[in-house]
Amino acid sequence: MSRITLSRFLIEQQRRDGTLPADLRLLIETVARACKAINFSVNKGALAGVLGEAGTGNVQGEAQKKLDVIANDVLLDANEWGGSPAAMASEEMELPYHIPGEYPKGEYLLLFDPLDGSSNIDVNISVGTIFSVLRCPAGVSHPSEADFLQPGTTQVAMPYTLYGPQTMLVLTFGNGVHGFTLDREFGSFVLTHPDMRVPESTKEFAINMSNMRHWEAPVQRYVNELLAGTDGPRGKDFNMRWVASMVAEVHRILTRGGIFMYPRDARDPAKPGKLRLMYEGNPMAWIIEQAGGMATNGYQRIMEIQPSKLHERVAVFPGSREEVEIVTGYHAK
Q: Which residues are annotated as a binding site?
A: 91, 113, 115-119, 208, 274, 280
**Which phi-psi region, left, alpha or beta, contains residue 52 (left: φ > 0; alpha: ψ -120 to 50)?**
left
DSSP labels for 114-125?
A: EEETGGGGGGT-
Query: Which residues sit opposite 72 in a β-bridge?
Result: none
Residue among 166, 146, 3, 161 nearest 71 (CA) = 161
Binding-site positions for Mg(2+): 91, 113, 115-116, 280
**φ/ψ of residue 268, rounded to 5:** -140, 85
Spatial contact of 290 and 137, defined as CB atoms under 8 Å apart: no
Spatial contact of 167 and 251, defined as CB atoms under 8 Å apart: no
Please classify residue 145 by burial: count the beta carbons closer than 10 Å to its beta carbon, then call 0-12 exposed, 13-18 middle and 19+ buried: middle
Residue among 168, 183, 201 nearest 320 (CA) = 201
Query: Which residues sit opposite 129 in a β-bridge?
Result: 161
- Residue 282 CA, chain-centre distance (Å), reads 8
Other C-beta atoms closer than 10 Å to the C-beta of 266 total 10
Binding-site positions for substrate: 116-119, 208, 274
Query: Which residues sit opposite 170 in a β-bridge?
Result: 160, 179
DSSP labels for 297-322?
A: SSSSBGGG----STT-EE-BEEE-HH
- For CA atoms 227, 252, 243, 263, the dihedral sign is negative
The helix-helix angle for 321-332 and 217-228 (nearest 10°) equals 140
The CA distance from 307 to 153, in Å, is 12
